[in-house]
Amino acid sequence: MPEKEEDWVIDYHTYSLDDLLFDVHGRLMLGSKQDAVVYGKEKSTGAEVELKSTLDLMVSLSKRKSDGKLCLFA
């Protein structure tokens, strides 16, 4: 499947993993038996890390706030 890039603005203080998954489902065409799994890139190592909780997402977003964007892979 080709990569798809989309940008949207969020408030990282109040944005939850559930909000992100809801937004992702609205932008991707997933099959009835598919579910999104979200990964972020660790800034220091470049490793992909699964974001399993809202806390994981908030930490990733707060680390990247100076960059102005966070790349997520779903």
Give me the residue spans of the domains in the chain.
39-74
- CA atoms of 63 and 29, how far apart (whole Å): 30
Supply the pTM of this predicted model: 0.66
Show pLDDT as tens, one digit a residue, over the chain (74 residues): 556 666 777 777 788 889 988 888 877 777 888 888 888 877 778 888 898 999 988 888 777 766 666 666 55
**Dihedral (C-alpha) 54, 65, 7, 47: value to the nearest 10 degrees?**
-70
- Backbone φ and ψ of 54, nearest 5°: -60, -35
